[in-house]
Amino acid sequence: MTLTLNGKKTDIQDDLTVEGLLGYLMIAPARVAVEVNLSIIKKNDYHTCVLKDGDKVEIVNFVGGG
């Protein structure tokens, strides 16, 4: 399937959960927040939220700012 991942079209295996995606990207869930199609996904739901072709996924974290 193809996801729009942080604004970039990315081909990735089907039926991946948010947890699976973070694992694939080697991102620790503790310090990020995830939004799928503008809805925030709760950390407890990472393992049940299955991504679909065309989903817009945003993975955000904190960066330097004032």
Partner 1 sequence: MTDNLIIKGIEFKSRLWVGTGKYKDFQETKLAIEASGADVVTVAVRRTNIFDNKSDNLLDYIDPQKYKILPNTAGCFTVEDALRYSRIARETGISDLIKLEVIGDEKTLFPDVCATLQATEILAKEGFIVLPYINDDPIMAKRLVDAGAAAVMPLAAPIGSGLGIRNPYNIKIILEQATVPVIVDAGVGTASDVAVAMELGCDAVLLNTAIAGAKDPIAMATAMNHAVKAGRLAFTAGRIDRKLYATASSPIEGML
Contact residues: partner 1, CB under 8 A: 5-8, 25-27, 30-35, 38, 40, 42-43, 58-66
Q: CA-CA distance, 18 to 6, in Å (whole number)?
A: 14
C-alpha span between 57 and 66 (Å, rounded) = 26
- We find the least distance from the C-beta atom of residue 38 to partner 1, in angstroms, to be 8
Based on its alpha-carbon atoms, the radius of gyration of the chain, rounded to whole angstroms, reads 12
**Is the Cβ of residue 7 or residue 15 nearer to partner 1 in the bound state?**
7
Query: In whole angstroms, how close is the CB of 25 to partner 1 at the nearest point?
Result: 5
